[in-house]
Amino acid sequence: MTIKINDAVSRPLGSRDIGSGDDSGLPGVSEEMRHAQAFDGIDWSKAAPSWVSLFTGLVLPLLGLAVLVGSIDLALGWLVEKWTGTSSMSPLLLAAIMFPPALMIAFGCCKLFLRLKDAMRTAAR
Other beta carbons within 10 Å of 11: 14
CB burial of residue 73 (10 Å; 0-12, 13-18, 19+): buried
**Statement to judge: residues 15 and 25 lie in one domain:** yes
Where residue 17 falls (left for φ over 0; alpha for ψ -120 to 50; beta otherwise) is: left
Per-residue pLDDT of 79-115, as tens digits, reads 888 887 766 777 788 888 888 888 899 889 889 999 9
Of 83, 77, 109, 79, which Cα lies nearest the Cα of 96?
A: 77
pLDDT the model gives residue 119: 92
Quick check: 41 pLDDT over 60?
Answer: yes
Per-residue pLDDT of 2-30, as tens digits, reads 555 555 555 555 555 555 554 455 555 56
Whether this model's pTM surpasses 0.85: no
**Statement to judge: residues 104 and 61 lie in one domain:** yes
**Statement to judge: residues 107 and 96 lie in one domain:** yes
**Domain total for the chain?**
2
Collapse the DSSP code of 9 into the 3-class scheme (helix H, G, I; strand E, B; otherwise coil) and give the result. Answer: strand
- In terms of residue numbers, what domain contains 17? 1-48
**Statement to judge: residues 27 and 82 lie in one domain:** no
Name the band, by pLDDT with cuts 50, 70 and 90, for residue 125.
confident
